[in-house]
Amino acid sequence: MRLPVLPRGLRIGLRWKLSAAIALVSALVALVLSIVVHNAAWVTMLDNARDVQDERLQIAARYYDTSSGAARLGTRVDDPDIPQELLRKVKAGRRATFVQDNADGVPDIWAAMPMRDGRTLSLHTRFTDRSANVMADLDQALLIGSIAVIFGGCALGVLVGGQLSGRLRKAASAANLVAQRQSDVRVRDAIGGVVRDETDDLAHAVDAMADALKQRYEAERRVTADIAHELRTPVTGLLTAAELLPPGRPSELVRDRAQAMRTLVEDVLEVARLDGASERAELQDINLGEFISRRVASTHPDIEVRVVHESEVTTDPRRLERVVGNLIANAAKHGKPPIQISVEGRVIRVRDHGPGFPADLLAEGPSRFRTGSSDRAGHGHGLGLTIAAGQARVLGARLTFRNVGLGVGSGPVEGAVAVLWLPEHAPTNTGSFPMLP
């Protein structure tokens, strides 16, 4: 069974998406808080400076000499540089303070009040360097804190996203194994963990779906096997009765159709057995190139086998012969000569020069009772390649299909190639593969 191919594109893991999202939120929060804290601290320090300036002005007013109009404690009388807005408040009979912004960013702090003689007493100082240093230290602390928050958010995103992404990857891997008909795999057991979250709900849903599909598939397999088994006896009787008919063209047609029906019933039974996943390989050590050459020469002497590189493999000879025989039969029935077979190490290639495999088979793999498009169909029930793929699974091998000569555009097809990749380590009698030392 082949899984659908996803479109290629930029792949970004969930871990990095969460990290980026948390880092962005952390940066925005840190920026907003820094601005709020900076502005609040600045306003508070300016208010304190104005209060101090007001208190100093009131103290200086107590020592104001009305007779001479002399100012003390750094105050001035009728200062021409006093801001107009502050002067208007003084003319209205109010004591007031004022912050005057400068181009260098350090403001001036003013305080003024009307005197009994009609003059204006004012005090003017610049914002203290100490306060400016305090603001610089505060800004530095806010910057360091913001960077720490962003990096902390990234680390938290990597940790949380990595854990979630790891669980999802384990679930996806287990689901792929289930799709490959490994019925003993449970997605919930594969992801592990003691904390329940949405991933567990997804795993339980996938397991429930797999169980339902398995039950339905098993029911269909049993029905198919039962029907084929029940047909086996009457078809055998029909074939025996056809052999007793007198010679002639009608008798040949009856025997031919009866034989075709018997072959179909046997193939359906074999497919049902392979679908049941109970078949086990009977392993032997063979020289692959020599084995394929001898078997093909005995059944198809007109087909040449080219051994590029000999290799000794451990496999089931009977099943291997069945796979190669079905591939040759498919090439002879749907392709065009010459049929070429090459053996290179553990790889066997069967090529014909016909119209190529149909697109559905290339995309989804062989399927029973589907013979493909009209240019490569006409006879058969689509069971030959299905049986070959099933026997390859029992051997632990991989069977792939491709067309030759198909260019980037819509170029002509010059043949079909089926490639059987035998495993380096043969499956055990339990259907699994031995652990490497």
Q: What is the CATH number of the domain that holds 273?
A: 1.10.287
Flag whether pLDDT at 1 surpasses 80: no
The residue from 252, 279, 306 where one domain ends is: 279
For residue 255, with 0-12 CB atoms within 10 Å meaning exposed, 13-18 middle and 19 or more buried, which class applies?
middle
The residue that leads in pLDDT, 215 or 69, is 215
Flag whether pLDDT at 377 surpasses 60: no
Question: How many separate domains does the chain show?
Answer: 3
Integer Rg of the chain from CA: 44
Which of 72-76, 139-143, 358-362 has the weakest average pLDDT? 72-76
pLDDT recorded at residue 2: 45
The first and second tokens of residue 5, run together, are 């191919």
Residue 376 pLDDT class (50, 70, 90 cuts) = very low
Residue 406 pLDDT class (50, 70, 90 cuts) = low
Residue 375 falls inside a structural domain:
no
What are the Cα distances from residue 119, in Å, to 75, 97, 112, 124, 140?
A: 12, 17, 10, 16, 45
24 and 54 fall within a common domain: yes
324 and 404 fall within a common domain: yes
321 and 216 fall within a common domain: no
55 and 67 fall within a common domain: yes
261 and 316 fall within a common domain: no
Please report where in the chains the tokens 């598939």 appear, as a residue: 217
CATH number at residue 349: 3.30.565.10
Q: Which amino acid is at 82?
A: I
For residue 57, with 0-12 CB atoms within 10 Å meaning exposed, 13-18 middle and 19 or more buried, which class applies?
buried
What are the Cα distances from residue 393, in Å, to 8, 275, 279, 312?
A: 28, 10, 10, 20
pLDDT recorded at residue 133: 76
- Distance CA(290)–CA(287), nearest Å, equals 6
Domain region containing 267: 193-279
Cβ neighbours for 306, distance < 8 A, ≥ 6 positions apart: 340, 341, 342, 343
The residue that leads in pLDDT, 133 or 430, is 133
Residue 408 pLDDT class (50, 70, 90 cuts) = very low
The first and second tokens of residue 202, run together, are 């997804």
Q: What is the pLDDT of residues 335-367, one digit of tens each?
A: 888 888 999 888 999 998 888 888 877 877 776
DSSP state for residue 103 in the 8-state scheme: T
Flag whether pLDDT at 19 surpasses 50: yes
Average pLDDT over residues 277-301: 84
Percent of the chain clearing pLDDT 70 (strictly above) = 76
Flag whether pLDDT at 417 surpasses 70: yes
pLDDT recorded at residue 436: 43
The residue that leads in pLDDT, 436 or 211, is 211
Residue 308 falls inside a structural domain:
yes
- The torsion angles phi and psi of 16, rounded to 5 degrees, stand at -75, -30
- Distance CA(334)–CA(370), nearest Å, equals 13
Flag whether pLDDT at 8 surpasses 60: no
The residue from 117, 151, 185 where one domain ends is: 151
257 and 326 fall within a common domain: no
Which neighbouring-strand residues pair with 82?
Answer: none
Which neighbouring-strand residues pair with 125?
Answer: 109
The residue from 279, 312, 329 where one domain ends is: 279
The residue that leads in pLDDT, 390 or 370, is 390
Residue 160 falls inside a structural domain:
no
Q: Which amino acid is at 291?
A: F
Assess contact for 372 and 415: CB atoms under 8 A. Answer: no
Buried/exposed code over 304-326 (b: 16+ C-beta within 10 A; e: otherwise): ebebeeebebbbbbebbbbbbbb
Residue 357 falls inside a structural domain:
yes
Q: What is the mean pLDDT of the chain?
A: 77
What are the Cα distances from residue 137, in Å, to 106, 141, 301?
A: 16, 6, 92
- Distance CA(160)–CA(13), nearest Å, equals 12
Average pLDDT over residues 183-190: 72
Please report where in the chains the tokens 């290339």 appear, as a residue: 362
Which of 70-74, 86-90, 172-176 has the weakest average pLDDT? 70-74
Q: What is the pLDDT of residues 117-128, one digit of tens each?
A: 788 888 888 876
pLDDT recorded at residue 79: 84
What are the Cα distances from residue 9, in Å, to 23, 111, 170, 291?
A: 24, 67, 22, 45
Q: Which amino acid is at 274?
A: L
Residue 78 falls inside a structural domain:
yes
Flag whether pLDDT at 6 surpasses 70: no
292 and 422 fall within a common domain: yes
H-only helix segments in 180-248? 187-191, 198-243
The first and second tokens of residue 285, run together, are 């050590």
Which neighbouring-strand residues pair with 342?
Answer: 306, 349
Residue 173 falls inside a structural domain:
no
68 and 26 fall within a common domain: yes
- Distance CA(142)–CA(136), nearest Å, equals 10
Residue 169 falls inside a structural domain:
no
Please report where in the chains the tokens 């104001």 appear, as a residue: 64
257 and 302 fall within a common domain: no
Separation of CA 42 from chain center: 50
Separation of CA 178 from chain center: 17
β-pairing, 304-309 with 340-344? parallel
Average pLDDT over residues 263-286: 73
100 and 220 fall within a common domain: no
Residue 10 pLDDT class (50, 70, 90 cuts) = low
319 and 268 fall within a common domain: no
The residue that leads in pLDDT, 174 or 372, is 174
Rounded to 10 degrees, the C-alpha dihedral 342/270/279/229 comes to -170
268 and 289 fall within a common domain: no
pLDDT recorded at residue 198: 72
Assess contact for 233 and 266: CB atoms under 8 A. Answer: no
Which neighbouring-strand residues pair with 70?
Answer: 65
Assessment of whether the complete model's pTM goes beyond 0.85: no
Residue 404 falls inside a structural domain:
yes
